[in-house]
Structure 1
Amino acid sequence: MHQVDVAIIGGGLAGSTAAALLGRAGVKAALIDPHAVYPQDFRCEKIDGPQIETLRRMGLIDQFMPAMTYDRQVWIARLGRLIDRRRGDQYGFAYEGLVQAARSAIPSSVDIITAKATDISTSDQLQQVTLSNGDSITARLVVLANGLNVGLRHHLGIERVVTSPCHSITLGFDLRRRDGQPFPFGSLTYYGESTAAQMAYLTLFPIGSTMRANLMVYRTMDDPWLREMRRSPEQALRQLMPNLHKLTGDVEVDGPIRIRPADLYVTTGHRQAGIVLVGDAFATSCPAAGTGTRKVFTDVEQLCKVHIPSWLASDGMDATKIGQFYDDPVKMACDAASSALAYQLRSLSIENGFVWHLQRWSRFLVRAGIGAMRELRAVVPTRPLQQRPGI
């Protein structure tokens, strides 16, 4: 029998980051996950500047940085045309490597238990978690951070409602030039050439010495193009983006192609005593919108920095306390922005109405204008005006 203040179920990015923050704050916590070393997993593979600032604010940047690769410079292109080059602010990583980095930040005061949580009983005071190894944990609060796993939630009457099935599909693969030469960019974001492509964008970014590709499309899992992508990926990529080679050169896919469909869903029945859900355990985001890691870090930071210290300072752990987290204005704003961006990007990428055509061309022209100004500043050196004599 283990007794802790907080039991965290799920040792992915959300759970491991929460364990690090709580342990560093002196909270007696336990992290429960069946994997002593987190397995290879195709999930988020890059973060940008705002998430780096969040890690710095949480005091975890030194542990996370060695697991990430800085992209140095971003090219933005459409229709085979480079429209902007700017300083990079993105960092690529293997998801399992980032989880291990988060775990490295967990102090020894936190119990890391390699087992699966098989049952939970909750109340206004104490919660009990039963483990697959026969042990049990008593805690004042359970943090459910086990992603898409639904078994424990169903037992508690917590359900998920799918709001957009197969909202998007992400394909991940490594890419290299056939001539063996390096790519001319640090990273590249290439937008769909037409709505018929049914894609949001292709993003190329470094992870170590490898150029990683994440391709975001809006299709169904039985789409013939996905079969073609598995069978003949270079031909399928040329079919989708015939002008891409103007920027990348002749390329080939190096290694396996991973495909991950994403349903958008929300949770119901979650306002219960003694248990709180974070990250994908509460609601999913669209990978194409790039808000998943932001949602995870926002959930974890608000829960561990704001709410849990306050909850532990008084007796009980009733549903009213737990509701404070779900009603947190910072969390609610992040969730709402993530959902809105998911639907907006899908419509902007595949809808054919006049308004959407206008928005696409407006965004293209604005980005091209910004890129042109950036290039002009790089070519024309800026220097202070010389003063006239006697002034």
Structure 2
Amino acid sequence: MTRCVDVAIVGGGIAGSTLAIVLGRAGVKVAIVERAGVFRDRVRGEALMPWGTALARELGVLDALAASSCHPLPIWQTYLDREPREPYDWRPDVPTGDGLWGVSHPGLQEVLLRRAIDSGATVLRPAKALRRTRGGAGRIVVPVQCDLGQTEIRARLVVAADGAESGARTWIGAKTVRDPVHQFIGGCLIDDVDLDPDAAHVGYVAGGSAMMFRQASGKARAYLVARPETAQSMRGPAVAPALIAACARALPEGALRRARAVGPAAFFPGADIFADRIAGGGVVLIGDAAGANDPTQGQGLSLVFKDVRELSQLLLSTDDWQTAIAEFARLRPRWYEPLRAHAMWEAPLVTGIGAAADAARERVARAKELNPLRGGYGTIHALGPDHLPVTEEARRHYLGEDLVELGLATTFGQ
């Protein structure tokens, strides 16, 4: 059986389903190929930053958060040596008044995929898109393997939203690029956390940090950002209790005394993974398939909604979709590269140890005190990466290396 549509989307996760919803509302015929029969809990980014929340609102999918066990976390509570510091409320600094959300990734995936169907999308699931070939009349043919055999989709455009290890990259001859790894991030879904459920919690210790993002179910996603050797020491069957114990040492006494793992635990490299090209031959990559930001920064979901907004606006503004995807590929570095640069600047500050690392953190703290914006990078989690320059001057300003009062600073971590 052949299905003829306007857009074939490979991957029915948050990126693919949200794009299908937006295009479907505009009358675009969409088919989604999703590999997973059921979305299961895995370790991944489950924080939606305020700028991403604002984008979800603009795209008309904000209500899907509350419908999928996501939970608003308006307060950012940090700890140093287990002692609480001044809490920060995101909302006054965000023009839309939006805050951070703790996200149930599989829950949000299911809700958005159902809404994509309600918006008119055809969904093949579980199914695998095998390749991309050229058909007649300007159509692209995507053979699809389903439980009942092989079918095919004929579309004007293929959007690959199949994740950081995207197989569709090879369809356009793209190579996968991996930035150097400075740190690792481990995660686990846990229950019985004794911390304020309406705040995100971040505790700093020597060589890393621990983060807690509560979900509406009462469970919380725990993350540990650690040096590579620390992460390596926790690998094995006891990774979950080791991760919880390490997180507990960064948070107030007793906060995790009853905590227990209720999902898988694993560590992943804290580095960007991206394609060296993201459009060509009637195919365009979005979300993690185009470029996944270092997961320690928690910007991945916000980046997804940014990609969906920009690509959908381009597609709906013209009938020349090949020009539209070429323009998307040209523009995406404007919001992706600042996120990538910021992650590389931040990594040594979080996991660095020793006198040079301490001095660098002191310098950054002073720069933040004097100018919280620091060229816009100081508010990147609240307001996003738009219009931020990726320059040596911007790096030095963000890190406080241009502070005359502290003299000439070292370029720690560079």
Q: TM-score range by the shorter chain?
A: 0.7 to 0.9
Deviations 1:359-389 (A, max 9, x none): 423555788999xxxxxxxxxxxxxxxxxxx
2:177/2:275 contact within 8 Å kept: yes
Q: Which residue of 1 aligns with 2:397?
A: none
- Which of 292, 295, 315 is the aligned partner of 2:300? 292
Change beyond 3 A, Cα 1:368–1:81: farther
In the other structure, the counterpart of 1:127 is 140
Query: Counterpart amino acid of 1:126?
Result: R
SS in 2 for 1:288: helix
- The 3-state SS of whatever aligns with 1:116 is strand
Distance 1:365 1:39, change over 3 A: same
Q: C-alpha displacement at 1:229, in angstroms?
A: 5.5
Query: How well do the aligned residues superpose, as a CA RMSD in angstroms?
Result: 3.1
Instruction: Give the 5 Å matches for 1:139-218.
Output: 139-165=155-181, 168-176=184-192, 182-184=194-196, 186-194=198-206, 197=207, 199-218=208-227
For 1:214 and 1:231, how far apart are their aligned partners in 2? 11
What's the TM-score, normalizing by structure 2? 0.75
1:81 aligns with one of 80, 83, 97: 83
Q: Which residue of 2 aligns with 1:71?
A: 73
Query: Per the alignment, in what secondary structure is the counterpart of residue 63 of structure 2?
Result: helix
Residue of structure 2 equivalent to 1:381? none
8 Å CA contact 1:9, 1:32 repeated in 2: yes
Uncovered stretches (5+) of structure 1, i.e. residues with no partner: 371-391
Q: Is the 8 A contact 2:277 2:329 kept in 1?
A: no
Say whether 1:244 aligns with 2:251: yes
Pick one of 92, 98, 106 that aligns with 1:96: 106
Segments of structure 2 that go 5 or more residues without pairing to the other structure are 91-98, 372-414
Distance in 2 (alpha carbons) for counterparts of 1:49 and 1:2: 38
* Shift of residue 19, structure 1, vs aligned partner: 0.6
Residues 1:224 and 2:233 aligned together: yes
Pair 1:116-2:123 in alignment:
no
- Per the TM alignment, residue 326 of structure 1 is displaced from its structure 2 partner at its CA by 1.1
| Contact 2:41–2:264, Cα closer than 8 Å, also in 1 | no
Structure 1 residues 184 and 275: alpha-carbon distance in aligned structure 2, compared to 1, 3 A threshold = closer
Q: Give the direction of change, closer, same or farther, for the CA distance of 1:272–1:104 in structure 2 (3 Å limit).
A: same
1:351 to 2:352 alignment: yes
Out of 138, 146, 150, the residue aligned to residue 154 of structure 2 is 138
* Structure 1 position 353, deviation (Å): 7.1
Secondary structure at the aligned position of 2:113 is classed as helix
CA–CA distance in 1 between the matches of 2:267 and 2:353? 26
How many pairs align?
A: 354
Q: Per the alignment, do residues 35 and 236 of structure 1 end up closer, same or farther by CA in structure 2, a change over 3 Å counting? A: closer
Contact kept, 8 Å, 2:43 with 2:187, in 1: the verdict is no
Q: After TM superposition, give the deviation of residue 75 of structure 1 in Å.
A: 2.1
Equivalent residue, structure 1, for 2:261: 254
Change (3 A) 1:353 1:267: same
Give the AA of the match of 1:75.
Answer: Q
Query: CA 1:271 to 1:75, structure 2 compared with 1: closer, same or farther past 3 Å?
Result: closer
Query: Residue deviations 1:183-203, cap 9 Å, x none?
Result: 356334333222xx3x24423
The match for 2:341 is 340
SS of the residue 2:192 aligns to: strand
Contact 2:191 2:218 in 1 (8 A): no
Percent identity reads 21
Query: C-alpha offsets along residues 46-70 of structure 1, whole Å, 9 cap, x if unaligned?
Result: 2132222111111112233222112
Retained in 2: the 8 A contact 1:38–1:96? yes
Tell me, yes or no, if the aligned pair for 1:233 and 1:253 is still in contact at 8 Å.
no
Matches of 2:254 and 2:47, distance apart in 1: 21
Residue type at the aligned position of 2:348: S
SS where residue 327 of structure 1 aligns? helix
How far, CA to CA, are the matches of 1:222 and 1:70 in structure 2? Answer: 30
Alignment partner, residue 32 of structure 2? 31
Contact map agreement 2:43 2:265 (CA 8 A) in 1: yes
Query: 1:190·1:202 contact (CA, 8 Å) conserved in 2?
Result: yes
Residue 283 of structure 1, CA deviation: 1.2
Q: Give the whole-Å Cα distance in 2 for the aligned partners of 1:213 and 1:157.
A: 37
